[in-house]
C-alpha cells in the first residue's frame, strides 16, 4: 500500500513537472489548458504529499527530507500570490520560485533514490 502510494505520488509529481514545461521560459507564466492540467494534478498531489511526508516520519533520510522541504516551500511560494499577498508584478517571482524550488525538490528526490539504489 505504502509503495503504491509512493508510486502514485511520484507519478503525479512527474505529471505536474511535465505540465509546467510550457511555463518554463522566464517571464512566461503557465496559463491556459496547461495551467488547468497543472492545477488538476496538484490538487490530489498536495494531499498525497501530506500523507507521504507524515506517514514516513522517522524513516526518511536527510536528503529526501530536504527534497520534501523544497517541494513544500515551493508549494508555499505559490500560495503567496494565490492568497493575494503580493502585487501582480511580483507574482512572476513567486511563480518562478515555486517552479525552481519544485524542480530542485524533484531533483533531490531523484538523487536520493539513486543513492538508495546504489547502496542496495
Burial of residue 80, with CB atoms counted within 10 A of its CB: 0-12 exposed, 13-18 middle, 19 or more buried: middle
Give which of 100, 20, 4, 98 is closest to 52, Cα–Cα. 4
**Which C-beta is closer to other proteins: that of 3 or that of 88?**
88
* Shortest distance (Å) from residue 1 CB to other proteins: 19
Contacts with other proteins, residue ranges (CB under 8 A): 29, 31-33, 36, 39, 42-43, 46-47, 49-50, 53-54, 56-58, 60-62, 64-66, 68-69, 71-73, 75-76, 78-79, 81-89, 91-92, 95
Measured distance between the N- and C-terminal CA atoms of the chain, rounded to whole angstroms? 22
* Shortest distance (Å) from residue 86 CB to other proteins: 7
**Which C-beta is closer to other proteins: that of 11 or that of 47?**
47
CA angle 20, 66, 37 (to 5 degrees): 20
Amino acid at each position: 500500500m505504502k509503495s503504491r502510494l509512493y508510486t502514485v505520488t511520484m507519478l503525479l509529481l512527474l505529471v505536474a513537472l511535465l505540465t509546467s514545461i510550457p511555463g518554463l521560459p522566464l517571464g512566461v507564466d503557465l496559463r491556459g489548458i496547461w495551467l488547468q492540467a497543472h492545477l488538476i494534478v496538484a490538487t490530489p498531489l498536495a494531499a498525497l504529499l501530506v500523507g507521504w511526508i507524515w506517514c514516513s516520519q522517522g524513516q526518511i533520510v536527510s536528503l529526501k527530507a530536504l527534497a520534501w522541504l523544497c517541494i513544500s516551500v515551493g508549494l508555499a511560494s505559490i500560495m503567496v500570490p494565490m492568497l493575494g499577498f503580493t502585487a501582480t508584478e511580483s507574482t512572476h517571482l513567486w511563480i518562478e520560485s515555486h517552479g525552481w524550488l519544485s524542480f530542485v525538490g524533484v531533483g533531490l528526490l531523484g538523487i536520493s533514490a539513486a543513492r538508495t539504489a546504489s547502496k542496495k
